[in-house]
């Protein structure tokens, strides 16, 4: 009975039921993990440091109050030598990105950093012949 009344209310006054809340767009960059890091590790590649240098330059030009770094590890990467825990690897990668940005951005311009890691806490074995890797990424979001 309540569900029918809710549908009737939505048909009569849809603004009461649903009001979209638009948020301003935030500068965000999502980078494939294989571009930033060596396989199954948190050591930055040279190409990764070049990309992070651009992010640091943007932080210096337009300071933000908060910075969110999210690393997602959904599967093992090619050239893995042993089993890896995706959640632990994602956490190490967020820490590596934050540490690098802290070296490049002056303390007074460095925003409050929130790190988040996404992945399984179970160890996964390296890829077998013919298997395709998942999409592991790092997202950097600057919040005004």
CATH number at residue 61: 3.30.1330.60
Assess if residue 5 is contained within a domain. no
Q: Is the separation of the CB atoms in 116 and 98 below 8 Å?
A: no
Assess if residue 92 is contained within a domain. yes
Q: What is the domain extent for residue 33?
A: 26-143
For residue 87, the SS3 value is helix
Q: What is the mean pLDDT of the chain?
A: 76
Q: Quick one: which H or E segment has residue 66?
A: strand 66-73
Which among 47, 25, 37, 112 has a CA at the least distance from the CA of 71?
Answer: 37
Report how far residue 98's alpha carbon sits from residue 96's, in angstroms, rounded to the nearest whole number. 5
Q: Determine the pLDDT at residue 6.
A: 45
Number of domains in the chain: 1
Would the pTM of this model clear 0.75, i.e. be above it?
no
Report how far residue 40's alpha carbon sits from residue 76's, in angstroms, rounded to the nearest whole number. 7
How confident is the prediction along the chain (144 residues), in pLDDT tens digits per residue? 545 544 454 455 444 444 444 454 556 778 888 889 988 889 999 999 999 998 888 888 877 788 899 998 887 666 666 667 888 889 999 999 999 999 999 888 888 899 988 887 777 666 666 656 567 888 888 776
């Amino acid at each position: 009975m309540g569900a029918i009344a809710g549908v009737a209310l939505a048909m009569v006054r849809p603004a009461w039921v649903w009001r979209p809340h638009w948020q301003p767009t935030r500068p965000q960059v999502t980078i494939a993990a294989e571009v930033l890091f060596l396989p199954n590790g948190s050591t930055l590649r040279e190409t990764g440091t070049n990309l992070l240098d651009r992010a640091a330059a943007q932080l210096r030009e337009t300071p933000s109050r908060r910075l969110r770094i999210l690393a997602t590890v959904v599967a093992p990467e090619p050239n893995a030598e042993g089993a890896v825990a995706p959640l632990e690897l994602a956490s190490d990668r967020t820490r590596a990105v934050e540490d690098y940005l802290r070296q490049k951005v002056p303390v007074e311009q460095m925003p409050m950093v929130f790190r988040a890691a996404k992945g399984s806490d179970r160890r996964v074995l390296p890829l077998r012949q013919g298997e395709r890797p998942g999409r592991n990424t790092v997202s950097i979001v600057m919040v005004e």
